[in-house]
Structure 1
Amino acid sequence: MNTKQKVVTKIESLAFEGKGVARVDGKVVFVRYAVPNDIVEIELLRNKKNFAEGKITRIVEPSPFRIEPICKHFGVCGGCSFQNIPYEVQLEWKRRFVVDAFEKIGKISNVEIKSVLPSPKIFGYRNKMEFSFGTSRWLTDEEIETQTEISTKEKQFALGFHIPERFDKVLNINYCHLQDERGNTIVNSIRNKAFELDIPAYNLRNHIGFLRNLILRFSFTTNELLLNLVTTSQVGEKEKKFLDWFKENFTSSELVDQLLVTTNDSYSPTAFGNIEILKGNGNLFEHIGEVRFRISPFAFFQVNTLQANNLVLKVIEYANAKEKIVWDMYSGAGTFSLPLAKVAKTVIGLESLESAVEDAKFNAQLNGIENAYFIAKDLHTKNILQELSKFPNPEVMIIDPPRSGIHKNLLNAIITIKPERIVYVSCNPTTQARDCQEFAKYYDLVEIQPVDMFPHTYHIESIALLVKKG
């Protein structure tokens, strides 16, 4: 089997990262944007020891599950993996991802894994979008095949999303179906004006340029929109003219309720910096259940607000925390802690990011919640058990770690502390399964509830309920 070789094969299934799985000469081949039961011609791109990767060059016979994606950028931008699969079929495969992770990685098969909770909205569900400016625009296959004449200026400016595995390339996004309609109007307006005035995008390699990111946040509670332009301080006459237009256009616009400009001269690609508020107070507000949350410009918040309500309700149900002491590990801005505080005796939220702790404290005060306490703590330190011993022992523990899962130091500490009940929320079933294999020595894994927070992507949230043995 050689790279650049073309073969016809059948797609057997989907892998966790959303790639189709085929077999050629007995070797597994991963194929992006393939649908189970497709018969496709693929070109082999990489041939590694245990697997290969290929791309579709021709669909010989489409799967009965294949549908036409709604987005013209599908298959290029990388944001969506499954727009070519009906939503109900997406949910079936996402459940399989969780089942496979627990059976193959966690070696756990005797647990009930429920049907996936579907998202209330499958388009326009995101409350945050982050677009990047770039100095190297990705040319589409159509532009290349039709030999469309594109100027050097057009090739050197883009506003959209980075191409998967090509962080230097940015695809112009004219319309994203995952965001509020107002966002598409704003993105196109800013791109056109910046191009007209010849404003340089920031170059990640030589760190020269002005425009870095465009962040939009939407409140599903108040219907407000926050627009945040991230730039460098490399300001000349052209850049001043653009900023004047930006301020005048959007301070008077009914589309925008909160308007900010953030200056970021760091070499880090992460969007942050010194904020100037041009309109409003710089914050949005959302409700999850009975709790009101302030969302500051760069704060983490679940991106699917409507489905976050269902996620929190399920966590509360599993926690069964009435009049109990609850610890919320990786507590963030209090997404789980504050609703739980409505029923629990005491909630202690532990989080390593100090800005998130400050947001959680503010949100507690905003809601008049006095039995939730938030502490900034490095949860991965070697002496974490000693640090945690300063707090009253929990009867219930909520754990919502990053994709990498629970750090081994914290995992060992939790096993030593042995709360009666653990509710483990994860955005990565593979690391969740790995950690639950360790917990299974001391806990019964009662059931798992997958929750679809990200329709049309391969991502799946899952909530595991563990109860101490005996």
Structure 2
Amino acid sequence: MPVGKIESLDHDARGVTRLEGKTVFVEGALPGETVEYALFREKPNYAVGEVSAVLRPSCARVPPRCPHFGTCGGCSMQHLEPTAQVAAKQRLLENNLWHLARLKPEQVYNPIYGPTWGYRHRARLTVRMVESKGMLVGFHEKRSSYVADLHTCPILPAHVSDLLVPLRQLFVGLSIRDRLPQVEIAVGEKCTVMVLRILEPLSGADEKLLRAFADEHGIVFFLQPKGPASAYRFHPVDGPDLSYLLPEFGLEMRFSPTEFTQVNPGINQMLIRRAMRLLDPQPGERIADLFCGLGNFTLPIARSGARVVGVEGLKELTRRAEENAAANGLAANVSFGVANLFECTPKSLGALGHFDKMLIDPPREGAVEVVKALGEDSPGRIVYVSCNPSTLARDAAILVHQKGYRFSGAGIVNMFPHTSHVESIALFEKA
């Protein structure tokens, strides 16, 4: 087996080394280590392998806490000490910005990070009956469509992790156990919801089992017979709704279990605090919140007294945002619109009117059409929240090299500890 010295981590948290002039990505290897590895994929320009032995370990290597690490595909960095994970993600962000955009921020912000266990309040788990193993409930195995045989998951809240085995026992007793492919979990301030994706109706006995399980474990079951919009509350019928709090801004944000919210509520609060500090919204200013979702940033901005226009591509989310604005007494400060921002043009953006400032929080695809559409009347300050360093770099290049903005600062947000996912926040100001 080949032996290599690991130079760095790539965007999937794989160690990078070289073999006969070819780049090799080694799963399970850390920078600075000397490892023996086995190749399982070879291409003309690169190869992929997996560690078979660590000959000289990194001082940042730690024993993984989860017994399923290495098999389950939910985490890829548990073998790296948490603060070293943060540093690796910061380097990845800076490398993307330099290599893809030839940019360095004027200031590198202190990273935002917090507790590394029990943080994941949203999860989508696969359910599958396997003859040799029984009923499985979990994430997919690494590099596989198979379901990991999970008995515990320390990145989930403890009360949810404790239900993995009872859920297996529950599902195996249902008449539709082969027609229940997925359970989606959403943990709120006042309740925990599990959405069961069902491909056939429940029997009367199934309904009785679900009600008893929900009552015993204090959860709420939703049923989803078709798409996400078809999900409905099954049992208990009455009780508190899902919500998360933004106490710094006096906000309670209600949401449906199938609507997008950040998985890590503690880090989300810190991210919003950072975004508000960088945006610095003032009473009377007119501010745009693009890709606004259900108002996660819109309502904190509105709390400052600014007038906010939120734009989102999904009508269901803008409806939820309007409900949250009204429930929090901010309806007079905000307005919401539905638009496909991936097809944004100078004309469609200009039709929204002048904005003093703008916050952009796009999905992984980034906001290239938005930044290309900015004209001479563009906002004086833009805060960009990103979940993909490469598309942030692409859009930052346009803002700086074509639109005349200064790249005032950037830093990472460790929203997903133990995974390779890199969230970040950046500030652009008119020169």
Class of the TM-score when normalised by the shorter of the 2 chains: over 0.9
For each residue in 1:308-348, what CA deviation from the matched residue of structure 2 results, as whole angstroms up to 9, or x when unmatched?
11100111111122021100010000000100001142100
Name the counterpart of 1:134. 128
Give distance in 2, aligned partners of 1:16 and 1:113.
20
Q: Is the 8 A contact 2:286 2:357 kept in 1?
A: yes
Q: CA deviation at 1:276?
A: 3.8
Give distance in 2, aligned partners of 1:241 and 1:154.
26
Matched, 1:86 2:81: yes
Question: Partner letter of residue 434 of structure 1?
Answer: R
Matched, 1:211 2:172: no
Give distance in 1, aligned partners of 2:199 and 2:229.
11
Q: CA deviation at 1:417?
A: 4.2
Question: Partner letter of residue 340 of structure 2?
Answer: D
Q: Any unmatched runs of 5+ in structure 2?
A: none
Aligned residue-pair number: 424
Correspondence for 1:109 among 87, 104, 111: 104
Correspondence for 1:261 among 215, 218, 223: 223
- Partner of 1:22, secondary structure, is strand
Name the counterpart of 1:96. 91
Name the counterpart of 2:262. 302
Q: CA deviation at 1:234?
A: 5.3
Q: CA deviation at 1:115?
A: 3.1
Give distance in 1, aligned partners of 2:367 and 2:377.
15
Distance 1:344 1:104, change over 3 A: farther
- Partner of 2:353, secondary structure, is coil
Name the counterpart of 1:456. 418
- Partner of 1:166, secondary structure, is coil
Q: CA deviation at 1:233?
A: 1.8
Correspondence for 2:207 among 223, 243, 263: 243
Name the counterpart of 1:285. 243
Q: CA deviation at 1:191?
A: 0.6
Matched, 1:191 2:168: yes
Give distance in 2, aligned partners of 1:51 and 1:248.
53
Question: Partner letter of residue 355 of structure 1?
Answer: E
Correspondence for 2:291 among 330, 341, 348: 330
Distance 1:10 1:198, change over 3 A: farther
- Partner of 2:213, secondary structure, is helix
- Partner of 1:163, secondary structure, is coil
Q: Is the 8 A contact 1:22 1:31 kept in 2?
A: yes
Matched, 1:52 2:10: no
Name the counterpart of 1:423. 383
Q: Is the 8 A contact 1:260 1:282 kept in 2?
A: no
Structure 2 counterparts to residues 365-384 of structure 1, below 5 A: 365-369=326-330, 370-381=332-343, 384=345
Q: CA deviation at 1:63?
A: 2.2
| 353-362 or 26-35: bigger deviation | 26-35
| 275-284 or 176-185: bigger deviation | 275-284
Give distance in 2, aligned partners of 1:157 and 1:437.
49
Give distance in 2, aligned partners of 1:44 and 1:183.
37
Question: Partner letter of residue 287 of structure 2?
Answer: V
Q: Is the 8 A contact 2:251 2:328 kept in 1?
A: yes
Identity of aligned residues (%): 28
Q: CA deviation at 1:79?
A: 1.3
| TM-score normalised according to structure 2 size | 0.93
Q: Is the 8 A contact 2:135 2:171 kept in 1?
A: no
For each residue in 1:358-400, what CA deviation from the matched residue of structure 2 results, as whole angstroms up to 9, or x when unmatched?
1100100110102011111111236x43233333310101001
Give distance in 2, aligned partners of 1:394 and 1:69.
48
Matched, 1:124 2:81: no
Q: CA deviation at 1:102?
A: 0.7
Give distance in 2, aligned partners of 1:38 and 1:78.
23
Question: Partner letter of residue 422 of structure 2?
Answer: I
Q: Is the 8 A contact 1:193 1:242 kept in 2?
A: no
Name the counterpart of 1:147. none
Give distance in 2, aligned partners of 1:214 and 1:272.
15
Give distance in 1, aligned partners of 2:204 and 2:34.
55
Question: Partner letter of residue 260 of structure 2?
Answer: F
Name the counterpart of 2:155. 178
Name the counterpart of 1:390. 351
Distance 1:215 1:274, change over 3 A: closer
Distance 1:367 1:195, change over 3 A: same
Name the counterpart of 1:158. 136
For each residue in 1:71-93, what CA deviation from the matched residue of structure 2 results, as whole angstroms up to 9, or x when unmatched?
01111112111111111111111
- Partner of 1:374, secondary structure, is strand
Give distance in 2, aligned partners of 1:381 and 1:63.
46
Q: Is the 8 A contact 2:105 2:410 kept in 1?
A: no
Q: CA deviation at 1:196?
A: 4.8
Name the counterpart of 1:35. 30
Q: Is the 8 A contact 1:226 1:282 kept in 2?
A: no
Name the counterpart of 1:273. 230
Q: Is the 8 A contact 1:98 1:450 kept in 2?
A: yes
The two structures, once aligned, show a CA RMSD in angstroms of: 2.0
Give distance in 2, aligned partners of 1:69 and 1:154.
27
Question: Partner letter of residue 406 of structure 1?
Answer: A
Distance 1:352 1:282, change over 3 A: farther
- Partner of 2:398, secondary structure, is helix
Give distance in 1, aligned partners of 2:212 and 2:333.
45
For each residue in 1:166-189, what CA deviation from the matched residue of structure 2 results, as whole angstroms up to 9, or x when unmatched?
23x111221111111111232211
For each residue in 1:121-143, what CA deviation from the matched residue of structure 2 results, as whole angstroms up to 9, or x when unmatched?
110111112111125x5xxxxxx
Question: Partner letter of residue 317 of structure 1?
Answer: R
Name the counterpart of 1:150. none
Name the counterpart of 2:274. 314
For each residue in 1:410-458, what CA deviation from the matched residue of structure 2 results, as whole angstroms up to 9, or x when unmatched?
2221245411111011011111011101100310010112211111111
Give distance in 2, aligned partners of 1:282 and 1:349.
27
For each residue in 1:27-76, what CA deviation from the matched residue of structure 2 results, as whole angstroms up to 9, or x when unmatched?
21101121222222111122222221111122233222211000011111
Q: CA deviation at 1:462?
A: 1.1
Correspondence for 1:18 among 13, 19, 25: 13
Q: CA deviation at 1:197?
A: 5.5
